[in-house]
Amino acid sequence: MRRLTRMARAALVMALGLAAACSGNDANAGQGPYAKDVADAIPVIQRITGLTFKHPPVLQEKTKEQVHQYLEAEFKKSAGQGIEQQETAYKLFGLIPDSIKLQNFMLGLLTEQVAGYYDPETKVLYVVKGAPSAMVSFTIQHELVHALQDQYTDLDSILKIHNDDDRQTAAQSVMEGQATLVPLELATGGRGNIAEQLPGGWDRIRQLIRQQKDAMPMMAAAPLFIQESLVFPYLSGAEFIHQFQQRKPGKQPFGDAMPTSTEQVMHPAAYFGAKRDAPTRITLPTPRGATDVYQNNLGEFSTRVLIYQQVLDQKEAVRGAAGWDGDRYMVLETPKGDGIAWLTVWDSPVDAAEFTSAMEDVISRQFGGPAEHTSASHVRSYETRSRSLTLWGGQVDGRPVVLYVNVPTGSRTDVIDPTKVKLEQ
């Protein structure tokens, strides 16, 4: 969620899930607010990351109301920059219900969760007054890492990657993953393999997160897509950074080393292999009979969530998203209402076929088994009372692709001409 990632960083899902298990420090010790926590954490953070603070971090306290006002201001900055169109896309994909106003929901959700955050614009680490001491201790350690990262890379620019959600999530996973892994290493005395040092390893970490999120009313009520989108950079990012440390000791995952897709974050072979599996860049042509109002992508991770949220079968979701090599969707304004066209590129025809099969199940579940008919070669067409949908499978520049179109009934479904799609590796 491109315009929500900066606020999502403040949510600290991992801190909420792991604070009680991983932190035993007294956050109120020392002179001044959290002075001892900061003083104790800095040398260990520098040793674990291999980076040195160029200047001391600045830490301030804020009330819950001040944090709410900050989040509100951040959302106002996003007005007119795609949030409304993004909301439309998520609803058309079936990722969030029609009843949710995304911006308002996220504001309430993040206000509920936030224990602290680092603001790359002001260069200040903020901690919420009155938060539980164990949570604050973890939060300070986590956000100190962000303050350190910001001294070696432009953290704010990473969070402003434009209309490429998958790449931004991958970059965010590096930042959140490192900032999550460091407190975990602090909790285990920096003795190396976290999965071995923590009882139950990564499976236990996942379990702690699931248990904690269910204890927060708005997080528990959030659609699966929102829950998983918030958790992914922390958990999968931490696993990626752990792999990076093991395979590239002494190196930093910044600059050219930054993963460029969630596929690279999730699959070690896609990033650490002899040649990185770079995503295919897609340029969609001007639509026919409709207006292009917004473009973005999902990536392998969100594609997997999209499938799972409808079919509720983890194996089918993993299989359907495997072999992803790029995607691009376009929110359409048709004479009869909003629509969407989504083109995906696959590593092989088998992968494209697996995805097509999964999408057939998605359509059936999302729209209650609409009437199907095949109108032309390689095209599956579906009709409901209010929507016309198609799945087209074929090739563009010798690459297997699948085009999904969802428009109001009576609108033309051939809005995208596959012969005019451009692919770039």
* Other CB atoms within 10 A of residue 107 CB: 18
Listed by start position, the domains of the chain span 2-272, 281-424
**Cα 172 from Cα 1, distance rounded (Å):** 11
**Cα 295 from Cα 331, distance rounded (Å):** 6
Per-residue pLDDT at 193 exceeds 90 = no
Please give the residue that has the higher pLDDT: either 123 or 184: 123
Confidence at residue 214, expressed as pLDDT on a 0 to 100 scale: 66
Question: What is the residue-averaged pLDDT of the chain?
Answer: 86
Instruction: For residue 164, give the DSSP letter.
Output: -
Please report which confidence band the pLDDT of residue 78 belongs to, taking 50, 70 and 90 as the band edges. low
Helix 13-22 × helix 165-187 angle, to 10°: 10
Q: Which helix (H) or strand (E) holds 271?
A: helix 268-272
Which segments of 51-132 does DSSP mark as H helices, in order?
A: 64-77, 83-93, 102-113
Torsion of CA 15, 186, 237, 69, to 10 degrees: 30
Tokens of 268: 């070690």
Per-residue pLDDT at 386 exceeds 80 = yes
pLDDT per position as a tens digit, 163-175:
999 999 999 999 9
pLDDT per position as a tens digit, 110-122:
888 788 889 888 9
Task: Tell me, rounded to whole angstroms, the distance of Cα 59 from its chain centroid.
Answer: 27
Q: What's the rounded mean pLDDT across residues 251-255?
A: 94
Enter the pTM of the model: 0.91
Task: Tell me, rounded to whole angstroms, the distance of Cα 329 from its chain centroid.
Answer: 16
Per-residue pLDDT at 316 exceeds 60 = yes
Please report which confidence band the pLDDT of residue 194 belongs to, taking 50, 70 and 90 as the band edges. low
Q: What's the rounded mean pLDDT across residues 202-207?
A: 71
Residue owning tokens 């434009």: 162
Q: Please, which residues bridge with residue 387 across strands?
A: 408
Q: Which helix (H) or strand (E) holds 62?
A: strand 58-62
Instruction: Point out the least confidently predicted range of 26-40, 141-155, 241-255, 276-290.
Output: 26-40
Confidence at residue 209, expressed as pLDDT on a 0 to 100 scale: 64
Confidence at residue 229, expressed as pLDDT on a 0 to 100 scale: 94
Q: Could you tell me whether strands 371-376 and 379-383 are parallel, antiparallel, or unpaired per DSSP bridges?
A: antiparallel
Q: Please, which residues bridge with residue 404 across strands?
A: 342, 391
Confidence at residue 75, expressed as pLDDT on a 0 to 100 scale: 80
Give me Rg for the CA atoms of the chain: 22
pLDDT per position as a tens digit, 282-312:
999 999 999 999 999 999 999 999 999 999 9
Instruction: Point out the least confidently predicted range of 73-82, 192-201, 385-394.
Output: 192-201
Confidence at residue 228, expressed as pLDDT on a 0 to 100 scale: 93
Confidence at residue 178, expressed as pLDDT on a 0 to 100 scale: 94
Q: What's the rounded mean pLDDT across residues 87-111?
A: 93
Please report which confidence band the pLDDT of residue 2 belongs to, taking 50, 70 and 90 as the band edges. very low
Q: What's the rounded mean pLDDT across residues 21-30?
A: 39
